[in-house]
Amino acid sequence: MSGGTRVPLDPFRFVVLNLTLGVGHFLVLFNTGAYLPMIPYAAGALGRAISYGDWTQANFFIAMAAAFPIAPRLAGRFGEVHALVGAFLVFALASAVCAGTHDFWIFLLARGAQGFSGGVTVPVSLRAMLRHYRPDRRNLGLILWGVAALMPFTLGPTVGGILVQEIGFRALFVLNIPIALAVAASCTVVLVHPESDLRSQAMDWRGLILLLVTLACGLWSLDLAEVRDFWRSPTVEMLGLASVVALALLFAWERRHAEPLVDVRLFARWNFSVGALGLFFTALLFQGLMAIFLIQYEVTMGYGPLWVGLLILPMALFSKLASILTHRWMTRIDPRLIGVFALVGIGASCGYVASYDRNASFDALLWPQVAAGVFVGSLFPPFAAIGLSGLAGSAELRASAVLNLVRVAGQAFGIPVFATLWEVRDIVHRHFLIEADGAARAHVTRLQATLAGRGLGPSAAHAVVARALGRAAGELAMGEVFYIGMWGFFMLAGLCLLARPVVFAESDVPVRLAAQELVEP
């Protein structure tokens, strides 16, 4: 993690280094949270249904996942400076395309380029920062890195809501351009030095192709399931099968490769497998539920983007504070117990959301997010510690790269999975509220007649009733989705108990914390 020989910097360049890498890290992570309340507006502006809008966020995450195992090889081949400068320049260019295009497919490709370039910057930035810190000051570096990671998740949805409400969703991408260019320019000044310890690794092209096929086909099958008759579509089935086959071939190839792109041999370790599965499904559940929560409160419940951002602000704030405390407690309390506590707690929070009275005031909906934030902040660190248990040095770094890939892939897959679940249940409830029950049909007819008697024309009365029934179906579907999430988190608590006792093998505490933080959102 240190990235080789430490390169001393004068005080001015040291300060600029922290500001540069901190702002760059903030920028990349900010684009994950701030974009969420913008999805319905972006989809509408691009002439697509909201289900297509989900693709733009899922593609960002899947491209970021693909970037993590590639980033160290880019840094080893071209150096940290060139890798960072190139990544931020691509990020700025992709943002410019997103800000200007009105074509959905071009926008989708640009979001993927954003995700990939942003994914490259995360591990390379941390490596560059720790390279320039003396060992006795690495804790300071990690604190600053944690602050840069904390603020985007905390402020992202709220600031994104303000931007889309007051200016428009394209404002996010316009703001990205000068910041990304400034970070790239600053990197060329503060990080220019001979990198004599570069270790260039030949690219594992077969492993890369199999990884990309696995991720792309898996995500496309889930994306198309939203718009093509779910799993009854031959295209969806074919893409899903291609993803599974490519994953099997990836494992077979990488197990024999001397320098694999993805070190699948780590899965022979019991705790690593438990940690990887836990991170994947925890990320899938959390990101999918978060997307449903934000989007459906806008679309179904009628909340504005700013109010939706404010609704989850307490959860975001308390989750990061809880994450900091969890890292301190894990050396004193068994991480497995912390994980069970967090998973059961967030599962109970999902059960509470499933029982919400949608007519409750904003305050009534706001305060439960504080409790949810405490549990969310403790979700990922225990599984990260379990996955890295017993590993140190280069093995720990390889493991953190694989776990990071698995976690971000889970975030990407979670969005279409839960969007499809919500869509299926919404259709079912619309059917039973309107068509399947004779008493319900009679009630709808009487309601329309009552509205018509109050001066509304037949068309207006029908529209009012249709909106009310659509909202009711959406509320029921949302409750069921969170109910499914509740049981998913309870099952993950059981998985946490299957792990063996955690062993913190890395003696360099800052390096160990850095490896764990790379694995967490």
**CA distance linking residue 257 with residue 446, whole number of Å:** 70
Task: Decide if pLDDT at 198 tops 60.
Answer: no
Flag the least confident range among 162-166, 308-312, 342-346.
308-312
CB 493 within 8 A of CB 344: yes
- Tell which wins on pLDDT, 143 or 391: 391
Mean pLDDT of the chain: 81
List all residues 6 or more positions away from 140 whose beta carbon is below 8 Å from its beta carbon: 133
* 433 and 389 within one domain: no
CATH of the domain at 518: 1.20.1250.20
Residue 90: its pLDDT value, please? 96
- Average pLDDT of 153-158? 74
Query: If you average pLDDT over residues 274-297, what whole number do you get?
Result: 89
| Highest mean pLDDT of the ranges 89-98, 282-291, 399-408 | 89-98
Do 145 and 169 fall into the same domain? Answer: yes
Do 113 and 73 belong to one domain? Answer: yes
Per DSSP, helices labelled H in 228-330 are 234-256, 270-299, 305-329
- Contact present, 231 and 243 (Cβ < 8 Å): no
Asked whether the predicted pLDDT for residue 430 surpasses 90, the reply is no
Asked whether residue 85 is assigned to any structural domain, the reply reads yes
CA–CA distances in Å: residue 265 to residues 140, 273, 392, 498: 34, 10, 16, 20
Q: What is the mean pLDDT of residues 399-408?
A: 90
What is the C-alpha to C-alpha distance for residues 449 and 455, in angstroms, rounded to an integer? 10
Mean pLDDT of 272-285: 94
Residue ranges of alpha helices (H) inside 101-204 are 104-131, 138-166, 170-190
pLDDT of the residue at 393: 78
Report percent pLDDT > 70 for the chain. Answer: 79
pLDDT band at 2 (very low <50, low <70, confident <90, very high): very low
Report if residue 470 sits inside a domain.
yes
Tell me: the pLDDT tens digits for 51-108? 788 889 899 999 999 998 898 888 888 888 888 899 999 999 999 999 999 999 999 9
Averaged pLDDT for residues 216-238: 83
pLDDT level of residue 307 (50, 70, 90 thresholds)? confident
User: Is the pLDDT confidence value at 145 over 70?
Assistant: no
Going by C-alpha positions, the residue among 57, 33, 26, 29 that lies closest to residue 43 is: 57
What are the pLDDT digits (tens) for 239-264? 999 999 999 999 999 988 888 888 89
Same domain, yes or no: 169 and 302: no
| 365, two tokens | 């909906």
| pLDDT category of residue 4 using cuts at 50, 70 and 90 | very low
Is residue 490, in this structure, part of any structural domain at all?
A: yes
For residue range 25-39, what is the model confidence (pLDDT) as tens digits?
888 888 888 888 888
Residue 199 falls within a domain, yes or no? no
Q: Write the DSSP assignment of 408-446 as a string of letters.
A: HHHHHHHHHHHHHHHHHHHHHHHHHHHTS-HHHHHHHHH
Q: Given 474, 491, 507, which residue is the final one in a domain?
A: 474
Please indicate, yes or no, whether residues 393 and 516 belong to a single structural domain of this protein. yes
Most confident of 221-225, 230-234, 430-434: 221-225
**Pair 506, 407 in one domain:** yes
pLDDT at 162: 85
Give yes or no: residues 339 and 307 share one domain: yes
Say whether both 433 and 490 belong to one domain.
no
Between residues 271 and 444, the one the model is more confident about: 271
Q: For residue 439, is pLDDT > 60? A: no
**106-120, 351-365, 472-486, 497-511: least confident range:** 351-365
* Residue numbers of the domain that contains 211: 204-259
User: What pLDDT is recorded for position 308?
Assistant: 76
More confident residue, 381 or 16: 381
DSSP state, 502? P
pLDDT at 360 over 70: no
| Residue 198 belongs to some domain of the structure | no
Q: Summarize the confidence of residues 407-434 as an average pLDDT.
A: 85
For 50, the enclosing helix (H) or strand (E) is: helix 50-78
State residue 36's pLDDT score: 83
Contact 243, 214 (CB under 8 A): yes
**Does residue 355 sit within a domain?**
yes
Kindly state whether residues 299 and 412 are assigned to the same domain: yes
pLDDT greater than 70 at residue 3: no
For the segment 346-368, the average pLDDT, to the nearest whole number, is 73
Domain count, the chain: 4
Q: What is the mean pLDDT of residues 223-242?
A: 82
Residue 268 and residue 216 share a domain? no
pLDDT at residue 1 greater than cutoff 50: no
380 in a domain, yes or no? yes
Given this model, what pLDDT does residue 444 score?
A: 60
Confidence label for 152 from pLDDT (cuts 50, 70 and 90): low
Q: Are residues 46 and 175 in the same domain?
A: yes
Residue type, position 388, single letter: L
Q: What is the mean pLDDT of residues 137-153?
A: 59
Q: Does 209 reside within a domain?
A: yes
Same domain, 321 and 370: yes
